[in-house]
Amino acid sequence: MRRARSIAGDTVNLLLYREQGRSDDAAEEALWRLNPTLAEYGPALPAGVWVILPEIEQRPSAAAPVSAWD
């Protein structure tokens, strides 16, 4: 598993985007499951917090567009 250190003022979404290039709901949910104690820091993480990054696909799968004729 890969770990990353937070920078002062990081949010979970910002940390995910910086480290993995995405911050969608699936990536955020996986991160929270691996790091349940992050909520104790509040919305912004202090500097130096080690965060375990989830092993997920780099790009989320694209949803098929919905057509009125389907």
Could you state, in order of their start, the residue ranges of all structural domains in the chain?
Answer: 2-53
Distance CA 4, CA 61 (A): 24
Share of the chain above pLDDT 90, in %: 63
On whether the CB atoms of residues 52 and 1 are closer than 8 A, the answer is yes
Chain mean position to CA 64: 23
pLDDT (0 to 100) of residue 69: 81
Residue 3 structure tokens: 């770990």
- Does 42 score more than 70 pLDDT? yes
Q: What is the pTM of this model?
A: 0.73
| CB atoms inside a 10 Å sphere around CB 10 | 20
Sign of CA dihedral 27, 13, 23, 66: positive
pLDDT (0 to 100) of residue 70: 62
